[in-house]
Amino acid sequence: MKELQVITGCMFAGKSTELIRRLESHNENFLLVKPKLDNRDKGDIIVTHSGIKIKAKRVRDLSDIFDIIEGVKVLGIDEAQFFDNKILDDLMYLRKCNIKIILAGLEKDYLDNFFGSMKEIIKISDSVTRLKASCTRCTNSATHSYRKTKDSNNQFLIGDKNSYEALCAECYQKTIKIDGK
């Protein structure tokens, strides 16, 4: 079975940028996918917070690409937390197809709970890279995604800097105490 690498961290930590960097560093044919649920960018494209744009196939499930993976040596998966639990079976199938997988996603949500299937994905991975952002309040290393908006309690609220900010553990704890979460 081929390797499964996981890139995780809080929002604004550079997960998508690191995913793209790793994909482009391979001198092999790669395919980049993202979940249809992630509608921040129009069409088959990913735009990172740092402005990098790259073509990416939008899919409901990873199985949507099974008929087009011939010749693909490396598969990049962005925003993996938005795929349902079927992703675990799909990842195992793709690894058996001798495809290296580099996956980026949020490990924890805004309430510091595991996000989607990320806990299980990390368990079956060969390596995990945890990136940190800069805390928007004190500039220490941020490890938490804090939701600024109170519009929804749904774990799946897709947003950007208008809805979320990166906080260090201390600022996160202070803020959730003030908010009563």
For range 146-157, the mean pLDDT: 67
Residue in 3, 24, 28, 79 annotated catalytic: 79
Better-predicted residue by pLDDT, 177 or 125: 125
Does 159 have pLDDT greater than 80? no
Q: What are phi and psi of 114, to 5 degrees?
A: -60, 140
- Which domains are assigned to the chain? 4-131 (3.40.50.300)
Q: pTM for this one?
A: 0.89
Tens of pLDDT, residues 54-63 = 889 999 999 9
CA distance 48 to 85: 25
**Is-catalytic flag, 107?**
no
From residue 175, alpha-carbon distances to 40, 147, 181 in Å are 26, 10, 9
Other beta carbons within 10 angstroms of residue 178's beta carbon come to: 8
Whether residue 86 contacts residue 63, with contact meaning beta carbons closer than 8 Å, is answered with yes
Does 72 have pLDDT greater than 80? yes
Q: pLDDT-based confidence at 134, cuts 50/70/90?
A: very high
From residue 15, alpha-carbon distances to 22, 83, 93, 174, 181 in Å are 11, 16, 24, 26, 26
For range 172-178, the mean pLDDT: 86
Q: Which two tokens stand for residue 60?
A: 């409901």
Q: pLDDT-based confidence at 91, cuts 50/70/90?
A: very high
User: In a 3-state reduction of DSSP, which class is residue 174?
Assistant: helix
CA distance 29 to 39: 26
For range 6-22, the mean pLDDT: 95
Q: Which two tokens stand for residue 35?
A: 């979940």
Q: Are strands 53-55 and 144-147 parallel, antiparallel or unpaired?
A: unpaired
For range 59-68, the mean pLDDT: 95
Does 124 have pLDDT greater than 90? yes
Q: Are strands 45-47 and 57-59 parallel, antiparallel or unpaired?
A: unpaired
